[in-house]
Amino acid sequence: MRLMKTLAAAGLMMTALCTQAAPTAVPDTAQVKAAHDLLVAMQAEKMVRTTAGMSKYPSPAQRELMMAKLDKLPNETVYTRLALPVARLLSTATAVEMTRYYQSSYGQKVLNQTYNGPPRLYPADPVPTAKEKTELKQPAFVKANQEFKAAEQAIHHEAFVLIGEINKGK
């Protein structure tokens, strides 16, 4: 009886593994380039510094050491090393649309408030002008924003993984 239960459990696990979506194939160069451009537009080096600052370290000296490593790291290195993981998370169309958004005047205000604003419990975006409101209601942006919001935690996780690799010297 125990053997039957074990075989049944193993069969269910194999079925579950086979029915899950296959991991995303290696993105093409256009998709990686679009993700790179998005990371440049959203100032990903500041996101990485923020993530490193919020991370827990055994001692203040180790925190300072990590921040020093990030200060020495060129911004382009951050963009290049995050481009492939982000390309796996976002479609090319989403990356292009979100790049356009972050390069707009409203996107710049959002980035400024995110990275340079005062600390707050809840994110508060700036109030858009009438022209910016119409741009934010375009179907392409709405769809891209939804996909980006769904992948945002995974992007921050990839930044955290990058911090760990930098800390280990990779």
Domain boundaries, the chain: 29-118+126-168
pLDDT values of the chain reduced to their tens digit, one per residue, 170 residues: 555 555 455 555 554 444 333 344 678 899 999 999 999 999 999 999 988 888 888 889 988 999 999 999 999 999 999 999 999 999 999 999 999 999 999 999 988 888 887 777 887 778 888 998 999 899 999 999 999 999 999 999 999 999 999 888 87
50-66: b (≥16 Cβ within 10 Å) or e: ebbeeeeeeeeeeeeeb
pLDDT at 127: 86
Tally of CB atoms within 10 A around 158: 21
pTM comes to 0.78
